[in-house]
Amino acid sequence: MPGIPVIAIDGPSGSGKGVVAERVAKALGFHLLDSGALYRVLGLAAHLKNLNLEQDQALAELARTLDIGFGENGPDSVSLDGRDVSLDIRSALGSDMASRVGAIPAAREALFERQLLFRQAPGLVADGRDMGTFVFPDAVVKIFLTASVEERAKRRYKQLIAKGIDAILPALLRDLKERDARDSERAVSPLQPAPDATILDTTEMSEETVVARVLELVKAGLPNL
């Protein structure tokens, strides 16, 4: 499916890439891949099954056979084995487990094929950490969103509270720093911008401004859109 355009939006946790990707996909009429949700569901499933994360092949098999559903109980809903886990995967546990399973090569390889299936006409906006570097290296537009860790912690805190999930700001800040280190230092697909990506520091930018800037970059990369 190389002829189907992909917009890759990567960045660390709390950079705003999920919301931005969703809005950009809606504006373009493109499909959306929230790759982080796949890793969060895998991490949650491994936790529920008390799976030892050192059992690479067992984790890979779990990743290949996961019964994941998107949008079954609402536009942003995610289900595991028919049960709505939308709030569970957005918890601190969900974030931590996603980062841990994401550092395991066998798990990443198993989820790789599932991610490729999201590339469907008329196009795809892919949100994650290695969309432009590993999963869709031929993406026509590559964007790397970032922000200070303090600002990202504040954003994540507001998101969790708005969803009714208990959160403590200092703990979120600590967890983000630990996750940044894990994601950036892992051996496979480390968190880093693609050489040809446009880097946007969103620390002082509003959501509206970021979305407008990303759409400008998309129109420049896809002038016939």
Q: What percent of the chain has pLDDT over 70?
A: 99
pLDDT digits (tens, 9 = 90+) for 168-214: 999 999 989 998 888 888 877 888 999 999 999 999 999 999 999 99
Domain enclosing residue 183, as ranges? 6-219
In a domain, 173, yes or no: yes
Report whether 156 contacts 13 (CB < 8 A): yes
Counting the structural domains of the chain, the total is 1
In a domain, 225, yes or no: no
- Residue 39, sorted as left (phi over 0), alpha (psi -120 to 50) or beta, turns out to be alpha
In a domain, 21, yes or no: yes
In a domain, 195, yes or no: yes
CATH number at residue 90: 3.40.50.300
Distance CA 117, CA 148 (A): 33
Report whether 175 contacts 95 (CB < 8 A): yes
DSSP string, 157-208: HHHHHHTT----HHHHHHHHHHHHHHHHH-SSS-S---TTPEEEE-TT--HH
**Rounded to two decimals, what is the model's pTM?**
0.88
The upper half-sphere exposure of residue 201, i.e. CA atoms within 13 Å in the direction of its Cβ, equals 5
In a domain, 117, yes or no: yes
In a domain, 86, yes or no: yes
Give the contacts of 223 (CB within 8 A, at least 6 positions apart): none
In a domain, 224, yes or no: no
Please list the alpha-helical segments (H only) found in 70-118. 92-102, 105-116
In a domain, 74, yes or no: yes
**pLDDT tens track of the chain, all 225 residues?**
668 999 999 999 889 998 999 999 999 999 999 998 999 999 999 999 999 888 888 999 999 988 998 877 777 789 999 899 988 898 878 888 888 898 888 988 999 988 999 999 999 999 999 999 999 999 999 999 999 999 999 998 998 888 888 889 999 999 899 988 888 888 778 889 999 999 999 999 999 999 999 999 999 999 887
